[in-house]
Structure 1
């Protein structure tokens, strides 16, 4: 019955177009027929919660945003004493930015010579800034060694690998976008993150 969720239909179409997806491509990713997605976008059909969840993941948003709910006001300040370290594959992460944002900002300790030093490729951009130690950054075929104070900003679809180049490890600031990511977890470690 149309009209139950009046703002969802135009929002679905706008988000799909903003992501540059055709009706067919978005429908395929969501496991829907293009005709069904078209009916959702015109308001001739109401989406179920699983459909909204799948579409919000594809469009890089939340169900709450799709429904037009205003998110609670976020505290723009991240206090150092409230940032618990999380460890994954020997890397130690501390939140340095607000949760639920399009950018994930972290302070990261990268240990020397770990199995986490593997090639990554994913949508988005990354920016790193070395605070302490030296960092070895492989971007495609090029390898760069960054000293304290050095930064790098790159498209993360470029195969990349980040590792400490000094035995004591390295400390860096790390910012990356969560473009079209269904998971808002730390993207650097393959292991299961756990509180220290």
Structure 2
């Protein structure tokens, strides 16, 4: 009985940590906007998001989503992970620790089981030899710093800061450093059939021939 209640509490702490992260997004958005002395009207004009939606997002009535946060991050010129990253002060029982995956440093930003998973990845400069892989799922990449080389099926692309790509991971894919410098990337990954619903996609350019 005690064991069951302990596992139940443990899953609740995961749910609570995600709720805490999401609940911090609204106040953080309002704080960034007021620090920059930007009105809701001005932000609405720049992002194309209605004033009422922006207001509900800041007050916590509207759940944050990528299609809302991406234009706001661009408008404020703030890295996207600053808007959705776990707050520094949180539940001390739930530690989100970085881990190494295929020689990359990966920091999980979400804790919920299933659904979309968000990660910040630091890709080392030495990761520059393509080894395409396939697996079930759908991935969305956003470059925070550096130049990312993305090999996707027959495409060989270079993405710079602020550029994004989304793709079905059943296609052979690999990403690494394009210029032998470290790259910082925000990754959102979902199981097959879950899409990120990004309406505006920046252009990507060829990496000088594929």
Scaled by the length of structure 2, the TM-score of the pair is: 0.47
- The answer on 1:156 being equivalent to 2:164 is no
What is the distance in 1 between the residues matched to 2:189 and 2:123?
16
Which structure 1 residue ranges, 5 or more long, are not aligned?
1-70, 181-196
Of 146, 151, 154, the match for 1:133:
146
What is the distance in 1 between the residues matched to 2:170 and 2:87?
32
- The answer on 1:74 being equivalent to 2:74 is no
Q: Which structure shows the bigger proportion of residues in helix conformation? A: 2
What is the distance in 1 between the residues matched to 2:149 and 2:88?
27
Matches for 1:14-163 after TM superposition, within 5 Å: 72=12, 73-76=15-18, 77=21, 78-80=86-88, 82-114=95-127, 117-163=130-176
Deviation string 1:119-167 (CA, Å, 9 cap, x unpaired) is 1111111000000000000110111100000000111111111111132
What is the distance in 1 between the residues matched to 2:161 and 2:128?
23
Does the 8 A contact of 2:138 with 2:167 survive in 1? yes
Does the 8 A contact of 2:130 with 2:151 survive in 1? no
- 2:107 is paired with a residue of what secondary structure? strand
Does the 8 A contact of 1:89 with 1:114 survive in 2? no
What is the distance in 2 between the residues matched to 1:119 and 1:149?
24
Does the 8 A contact of 1:102 with 1:179 survive in 2? no
Which structure 2 residue ranges, 5 or more long, are not aligned?
1-10, 22-85, 90-94, 194-210
Q: Runs of 4+ in structure 1 displaced over 6 angstroms?
A: none
Q: Considering only CA atoms, is the larger Rg found in Structure 1 or Structure 2?
A: 1
Scaled by the length of structure 1, the TM-score of the pair is: 0.50
Instruction: Single out whichever of 74-83 and 155-164 deviates more from structure 2.
Output: 74-83
- What does residue 30 of structure 2 align with? none
Does the 8 A contact of 1:74 with 1:98 survive in 2? no
What is the distance in 2 between the residues matched to 1:105 and 1:80?
17
What is the distance in 1 between the residues matched to 2:189 and 2:125?
22
- What does residue 199 of structure 2 align with? none
**Residue 83 of structure 1: how far off its partner (Å):** 3.2
Does the 8 A contact of 2:147 with 2:158 survive in 1? yes
